[in-house]
Structure 1
Amino acid sequence: MDPKIEARLKPGTDYHPLQVIPFFRRWRPSVLRNLLFTAILCAIVIAVIVLFSLGMGHRITWKMLAEVATFSLLIGYTQHYLYKITITLARRRQRLAPLLMHPMMLGVALPIAAIYVGYVLAVSLLTGTLWLNVSENWRGFVFASCVTIAIGWLLWEAIEATRKNEVERRERAELQANVDRAERERTTAELKALRAQVEPHFLYNTLSNVVSLIEREPATAKYMTERLIGYLRHTLDASRRENATVGDELAIIADYLEILRLRMGERLWYEVAADDATRALPLSPMLLQPLVENAIKHGLEPKIEGGRITVSAVVQDGRLNIVVEDTGLGFGVATDTAGSGSGLANVRGRLKAIYGDAARLSIEQPEAGTRIRLSLPIAASAAV
């Protein structure tokens, strides 16, 4: 079967001529909806006939209204059920579907048949005549048939255009959904790769420090081991959850910086600040750690006297604002700058994938060091 015909015959895809008007597309296809739509369409036809008669100077009587309503409703519902029977038959007899669903059948044969049968039923109901002799009023019948064919053909083209637009819209939506899913999978893979790159290196250096401190400073070695355990516990918990919170990420940062402070001694001072309400907000995992690592690696470690790093998170004007500020060498001073590595690039890529254009990341250069501002919409953060 032709895929286009097969798509038209799928259950739940019955179209009605009124669907050419966007207002009527909000209701899903159903038997009751189609019956109601046909009644509305018949009422529109009745109104048009009455207005045309008034324009021609004819007097409108209740008898005339009753006759017009009878003819319109019977012809309209005859066509309604002829289409329904044709579509049902095409679904059950797929071999006949190409013939039954042909535009000439739907746009010419069925409208003419509906006019004849509906006209016969209306005359029979109003006059008691059981049969309509077309030869008695063949000009009127031909005229009505031509008008109906023209209207039916226009409606057919409009419905097909509407159907095509809806199919294209669904295909675009599915394609975009696939792209978004692939982007999320890519960012997840990048997150795992980032963790795989960072954690072994960090673990190696930290464990080396622990081993070197065991004999000469056992208390410090124990404390560093405890902070390492806390760091690993927090990162493991975060890796098992699809979503994290600001508090989760700040806890990881605090453990990370405390371990580095033990390793760097007085060369490193740090502060992590956020209130309880801000800590409870959702935040995508591993957005902050690359920023802090950049500040340490490219700002504070190359500086002989070290410095200070501050990580703060606040809510302002309905947005989550996070600032990572250090007093290191400054952005672009060291040969391997923070902006040239993969850390910021990964963060920017993940921000784009998660928040679109709603997230902002800016790099500022105060008198000493570097300040990185991250601004996220709270509503979007809640959907992470």
Structure 2
Amino acid sequence: MSDPIGRPTAAVMSPLAGPQWRPLLRRGAVNAVMCIAVGLAVYAAQRQHLGVSIAYSLCIGVPCWLFIDVSRILVARRLHAADPGSTPARYGWPGWRWMAVCVVGGVALAYPLGVQLARALTGHPVQPSSGSLPAYVSLLGLSLAVAVGASYFFYSANRVSSADAEAQAARRLATEHQLRLLQAQLEPHMLFNTLANLRALIALDPPAAQAMLDRLIAFLRASLSASRTEWHSLAAEFARLDDYLQLMQVRMGPRLQAHFELPADLAAEPVPPLLLQPLVENAIQHGLEPAVDGGRLEVSAARDDGGLKLVVRDTGVGLQSAPAGRHHTGFGLEQVRQRLAAVYGGRASLRLAAAGPGPGTVAEIHLPHTVRDGTADRPDR
């Protein structure tokens, strides 16, 4: 499944899926910092050999963490495979009982290896006294205490990040459902307007109505599959507009003159489907059709302060001739505003104004900068 703003998401991806190297290295870096802090604390307490204290802390702490973390992941994977519905195991946490086994087992295995490694590197035995059993036991206890503390720290951080990931996924899913609902409302609205035009044309000019019906079938065949996607290129959006205007030209004839301006470097820019069509419908229905001689419809795209400006301009009767507020509160315009808010938040806008100085209306959509993510297009949020 893909998220509303173009991209694989909707379901929360389990941290157990895919490679674990990157988060493992991040935890390793945090663990190394903890080990250095423990080494400094031991040196401050004993005032003997700063380098030796830090070396022992790193040589013991890093293997302990590695044994514990790797065993935790392996156990969590096995538990998740046995019970996929287990949320803690899904996020790499096997539960405190298994975690206690991982901690004790990891320390028991890694501690003697770390001591031998530190002794080989520094040439110094376990501090504070030469290899005494109390010193060995006290350092073992310290290692165990630090391992428990680190495990709890990573467990708490993982719960916070997991909760945040689930919250973000829920928000994306809600936005996706909202967009699908808006699009599902918009498509019948466009079809209803087209059929209403066709019905009027049947009585006035049956051959033209037949031609319009043929165009409608071709338009629906080309558009329905495209309208089911959540993102498509600006070139595809302009192609659908051209199909629609070809359909309207059967009804209006030479009274409708259309012009497109799409720079080549913007053709691949991602936009939601059917974003401009409601504005084009609005311009024809309220601007050009009421005009005796029809007029010109221009659709253009351009860069605007790093973002994208989409303009639908007509030379029709203008806002002053429309029923009060109709241009600002029509169904299509409201749908465009809601879709912009759902996809881009407050970073996109729709402005409707008199074209000036002559008659007509201009509708401008301002979109933020977009980036390409793999095979999907997404707004740069």
Please tell me the TM-score bracket, short chain as reference: 0.5 to 0.7
Query: Is 1:325 aligned to 2:325, yes or no?
Result: no
Q: 2:342 aligns with which of 323, 348, 353?
A: 353
Q: CA deviation at 1:347?
A: 0.9
Do the aligned partners of residues 43 and 161 (structure 1) sit closer, same or farther apart at CA in structure 2, a change above 3 Å counting? closer
Structure (1 or 2) with the greater helix fraction? 1
**Residue in structure 2 matched with residue 383 of structure 1 by the alignment:** 377
Distance 1:175 1:223 in 2: 51
TM-score by length of 1: 0.62
Deviation at 1:300, TM superposition (A): 3.4
Shift in alpha-carbon separation, 1:161–1:226, aligned structure 2, 3 A = same
Render the CA deviation track for 1:10-35: whole Å, top value 9, x for unaligned.
9979xxxxxxxxxxx994348xx86x
Check whether the contact 2:318–2:354 (CA below 8 A) recurs between aligned residues: no
CA distance in 1, matches of 2:44, 2:177: 61
- From 187, 198, 210, the equivalent of 1:206 is 198
Separation in 2 of the partners of 1:330 and 1:241? 33
Where in structure 2 are the equivalents of 1:285-296 lying within 5 Å?
285-296=273-284
Q: Which amino acid aligns with 1:166?
A: N
Paired letter, 2:345: G
Q: Any idea what SS the aligned residue of 1:205 has?
A: helix
Which aligned pairs between 1:1-384 and structure 2 lie closer than 5 A? 27-29=22-24, 45=38, 49=42, 144=138, 148=142, 152=145, 156=148, 159-206=151-198, 208-210=200-202, 212-214=204-206, 218=207, 220=208, 224-225=212-213, 227-239=215-227, 241-264=229-252, 267-303=255-291, 306-326=294-314, 327-330=316-319, 333-335=322-324, 337-367=326-356, 368-377=359-368, 379-380=370-371, 383-384=377-378
Q: Which runs of 5+ in 2 are unaligned?
A: 1-13, 80-94
**Letter matched to residue 23 of structure 2:** R
RMSD value over aligned CA atoms? Answer: 5.2
Q: Normalising to structure 2: TM-score of the pair?
A: 0.62
- Measured in 2, the distance between the counterparts of 1:85 and 1:229 equals 60
Check conservation: 2:319, 2:354, Cα contact below 8 A: yes
- Using the TM superposition, give the Cα deviation of residue 312 of structure 1 relative to its aligned residue in structure 2, in angstroms: 1.8
| CA distance 1:85–1:295, shift in 2 (3 Å) | closer
Higher relative contact order (CA 8 A, sep 6+): 2
Query: Partner amino acid for 2:169?
Result: A
- Residue ranges of structure 1 left out of the alignment (5+ in a row): 1-9, 14-24
- Measured in 1, the distance between the counterparts of 2:236 and 2:99 equals 60
Residue 259 of structure 1 and its aligned partner are, at CA, apart by: 3.7
What is the letter of the counterpart of residue 337 of structure 2?
Answer: R
Query: Once the 2 structures are TM-superposed, how far is the Cα of residue 252 of structure 1 from its aligned partner?
Result: 2.9
Work out the CA distance in 2 between the residues paired with 1:202 and 1:377. Answer: 32
- 2: distance between equivalents of 1:365 and 1:290? 18
Q: How many residues align?
A: 327
Decide whether aligned partners of structure 1 residues 156 and 247 sit closer, same or farther in structure 2, where only a CA change above 3 A counts.
same
Distance 1:259 1:323, change over 3 A: same
Name the stretch that deviates more: 79-88 or 200-209.
79-88
Q: Distance in 2 between matches of 1:380 and 1:331?
A: 39
